[in-house]
Structure 1
Amino acid sequence: MESDAERVAFGDDLFKVIEGMTKLETEQLKFLCFGHIPVGTIEQMDITDLLQSLKERRIISADKYDFLIECLILIGRNDIAHQLGCDTDDMHALDSSLQKYKSFAGLESFIILLHTVADNMEEKEVKKIVVYFSETAYISRGKLKMCHNGFQLLSLLLKVRHIHANNLKTLLDLVQVLNRKDLEEKIKLYQDINSSSDESYKPTSYVPEENKNKSDDDDDDDDNSDKNADNGERNLQHYKMTAKPRGICLIFNNVHFMTENLKDRIGSDVDKDELVKVFTNFHFEIIEYRDLTKTEMRAKLGEVSSMDHREYDCFVCCILSHGTEGIVYGVDGEPLPYTNITSPFQPSKCKSLTGKPKLYFIQACQGLAYQSGEEDIEFDGLSMSVPTSIPNEADFLMAYATVSGYVSFRSKRNGSWFIQNLCKVFRDCSKKYDLSDMLLMVNNSVSKEDGLMGNQIYKQIPAPLSTLRKKVFF
């Protein structure tokens, strides 16, 4: 734990940064942090929030400013870097390394490249690119028109996954439209330096024996499973899961409600934190939102579904909120049907996720508190039930915390039974078992939990419903 003196010193150092930053420099600093803080989260931050978040994530501390110093050098604020303890010789050495996209403090090389491109774009060039992308189906014209500098433009393109580290074609097209040979050379230098790291990550530990020595194309050929049938049983294929990042993991965490009949969901942050850890470890890009109304939730679902998911292998959505039959609630107490949650990602509306697994993990609750006995336990839905049908389109999985007519439980200290057991099983078993097997383990683990009300013991069983056609290995 920090001493009072350390907190004062740390605050003074951060004040030096805050005091000296212009609006554009703040945009640049936020841009450089995209590899460490989700894009959707960082957009809403001011400079104070940003630095506090970096501290909470232990990226910077009272005796650790190397990440911040590298950022300051990139945006040309050597004076502030000097105030934080970096001498001239170190600055020259760091600047030389950063020009070669090499960071000693954890800055992502791709973000350094994008910063270089954005920093060298003039306003008229940004306008030219806005016109160039205005016909793109995956990008809102209104949002494009709000981009007035290179950082705003590339931030938007990053957010909708129109540019990414695994494929530099769009970025090369962008600089070629501008006829910027200098920027094209910088991109090619990045490619040369990072050529070995651009190869797709292909874990082998989870590949079933019957699928070894097969190409990725074989995985997508359903007819092959008939040819490989053994004793009349089909050998199940598995979805491709090698992209980095694997895909978007969208998390809605509704804790504080505006209506009297829906209590605050104390303990939900514990669930959210575990989900972030697990899916970050699975190489997903996390986008998290807290305390959204029904309208806001629908809008965010629409935004994510309109992204370009072509380079992704999967989509995950986690919803932590109150709920009742077939719905979850926004913090305004308005109901959001499950159909409104899944429909934006159906093939007709999100073509870039066609044929890819779309996984939903829903901890929905009604918020009826457990009054007598251990006050740490609350009910998450006394008459909670789920639809009797699953999405018409294939490749969906809906994993609900409970079945029709039964409560689900959440601990104020330890989080919900469903999410906590889900995360534990995923952490312990993902290298050996597929998603279907792990959800059976979650069912078994949750079924062993006990909820006490007076002298009566209450139980819970989750309800996964699936139209998946293949196995999912994280």
Structure 2
Amino acid sequence: MPMDRLILSKVDEELETSEVNALCFLCRDVVNRKRLENVVDGKGLFVRLEERGLLDNAAFLSQLLQTIGRNDLVNLLRTDRCQYTETDANPLLSDYRVMLYELHDDITQENLEKMKFLLENKLGRAQTEKCGTSLDVFAAMEKKGLLSNANLNELYGILREFDLQLAETVHTFIERLQFRPPCPKSNINEQNTNPRLQPCLSVTESQPSYPGDNVFSDSEPSAKPSSVDETDFYSFTHKPHGLCVVINIEDFKQSRRRNGSHEDERALRETFTSLGFTVEMHKNLESAEMKRLLVEKGRRNFNNEDALVVCVLSHGLKDCVYGSDDVQVSLRDLTQPFTSLNAPSLAGKPKLFFIQACQGSGCQGGSLPYIPKPEEVKEPQHLEEDAGAVQGETVPWDADFLLGMATVPEYKSFRDTKRGSIYIQELCKQLNESAQSNKMDDLLTVLTRVNRNVSKGVYLKYKQIPEPKYTLTKKVVLRYE
């Protein structure tokens, strides 16, 4: 269902002319540039977006507004939830165009004049005089073929003449792209380009893809060769890769203390720091504080990050964990702030949740065809259960989520009070080993090994088997930085 015209009208009223121009610039990859030339207000832009089917829901417009810093208008869109139909089919703004907008945000009027002077010979005096902002300059350079997502040499050279920090932003962007899988070979003559400064973009990063671009019927063979497609893998090119939030609930008002959880906290911090994430630690949050923290993180701008990781260490039952106030927080409450609806800059990016908590009060026996060794049967001395008392809600599965549970529904998970939980310690061990291996195993392969190794043990005479649930659309490969 198309977006409510009344909501769009309210957004239009709040937009300044400079912001409309910025939005038009950001849309140059998804809307024909000639169709954008006569746009003077938000309403005109919305008509162009509707023509492209980009306002069938609010995801793309939310990303646009978030990029220019108008989170207040993003919140306005969210008030009309009945108009949303969540989908990951909408195109995302390319890193290239967002990077240009961020450069524009940092270019002073003095530096703008310097840039125009340096480009006058190539753009022409009449054209440079028409440029009122750096976005106008970038657009003029693109029109002349001096700037594109595959050619940033000219811009890099110009910026080096008057602002080394801005030039470094472009250089960092180019360097980051060098780590992406190579693009298919082409016959384009590149003898006059600097290969070090030539980014190689995959289709998903450089431009939006629309249904039908790579769709073939079974009545005739595809002309494209079958080979490993770089789009099989999520992109991890930013530094840092993303945010890792660890919520460790050790002390409760009524439930018993979760001794040993500090070891899980330490292991997660060390592991995800080594994997290139910014790690935040939060301890002993009450249920409302936990929800509020995750809603706040969902409003964060993830345009310059590749992924999100959330780890929760607590007591729990089926489909819920507990805050330090012994009040349940449903798994839905954990994931909902990060859907493509609520966090558009995370759309199409992996959102990884690892939950150390029980999912019930039952204890699993061992009926698998596995004969434990005598030392494995021996009961550990410091094991406890992460069980609770209240049942919660089921998880809404949106695209690109992974939820790694310490155990299957209805059963307990176990934690050594001195060495940490069985699941988290094995998870960190396998992530670290995979990050150093030459095999390039994806996360699901790693979690399968976690399942196998945890299932071999005997804990307080019982068994434990973790449970990954996922709606990932690509492979996640995590490597040491």
**What TM-score, normalized by structure 1, do the two folds share?**
0.55
Pairing partner for 1:189 from 157, 164, 169: 164
Q: Does 1:399 align with 2:404?
A: yes
TM-superposed CA distance for 1:176, in Å, is 3.2
Pairing partner for 2:455 from 447, 453, 468: 447
TM-superposed CA distance for 1:170, in Å, is 3.9
Contact map agreement 1:364 1:381 (CA 8 A) in 2: yes
Q: Does 1:313 align with 2:306?
A: yes
Amino acid at match of 2:462: Y
Question: Equivalents in 1 of 2:281, 2:311: separation in Å?
Answer: 9
Q: Indicate the RMSD between aligned Cα atoms, in angstroms.
A: 4.3
Structure 1 equivalent of residue 386 of structure 2: 380
TM-superposed CA distance for 1:237, in Å, is 0.8
Structure 2 equivalent of residue 217 of structure 1: 202
Q: Identify unmatched segments of 5+ residues in structure 2.
A: 1-67, 76-97, 115-158, 187-198, 217-221, 364-377
Contact map agreement 1:384 1:406 (CA 8 A) in 2: no
Q: Does 1:473 align with 2:448?
A: no
Structure 1 equivalent of residue 419 of structure 2: 414
Question: Equivalents in 2 of 1:437, 1:195: separation in Å?
Answer: 36
Structure 2 equivalent of residue 176 of structure 1: 108
Q: Does 1:246 align with 2:254?
A: no
TM-superposed CA distance for 1:312, in Å, is 1.3
Question: Equivalents in 2 of 1:234, 1:217: separation in Å?
Answer: 10
> 2:450 is paired with a residue of what secondary structure?
helix
Contact map agreement 2:103 2:166 (CA 8 A) in 1: no
Instruction: Report the count of equivalent residues.
Output: 305
Alignment CA distance shift 1:331-1:448 (3 Å) = same
Contact map agreement 1:292 1:331 (CA 8 A) in 2: yes
Alignment CA distance shift 1:384-1:464 (3 Å) = farther
Q: Does 1:353 align with 2:346?
A: yes
Alignment CA distance shift 1:263-1:135 (3 Å) = same
Contact map agreement 2:287 2:323 (CA 8 A) in 1: yes
The one-character-per-residue Cα deviations of 1:408-459 (angstroms, maximum 9, x if unpaired) are 111111111111110011000135200111110110111112213xxxx211
> 1:399 is paired with a residue of what secondary structure?
strand
> 1:458 is paired with a residue of what secondary structure?
coil
Pairing partner for 1:429 from 422, 425, 434: 434
The percentage of aligned residue pairs carrying the same residue is 32
Structure 1 equivalent of residue 259 of structure 2: 266
Alignment CA distance shift 1:194-1:404 (3 Å) = closer
Contact map agreement 2:249 2:284 (CA 8 A) in 1: yes
**What TM-score, normalized by structure 2, do the two folds share?**
0.54
Structure 1 equivalent of residue 40 of structure 2: none
Question: Equivalents in 2 of 1:297, 1:408: separation in Å?
Answer: 22
Alignment CA distance shift 1:352-1:450 (3 Å) = same
Q: Does 1:284 align with 2:277?
A: yes
Alignment CA distance shift 1:378-1:168 (3 Å) = farther
Amino acid at match of 1:442: V
Question: Equivalents in 2 of 1:211, 1:386: separation in Å?
Answer: 49
Structure 1 equivalent of residue 466 of structure 2: 462
Structure 2 equivalent of residue 46 of structure 1: none
Alignment CA distance shift 1:211-1:425 (3 Å) = farther
Amino acid at match of 1:239: Y
Structure 2 equivalent of residue 201 of structure 1: 176
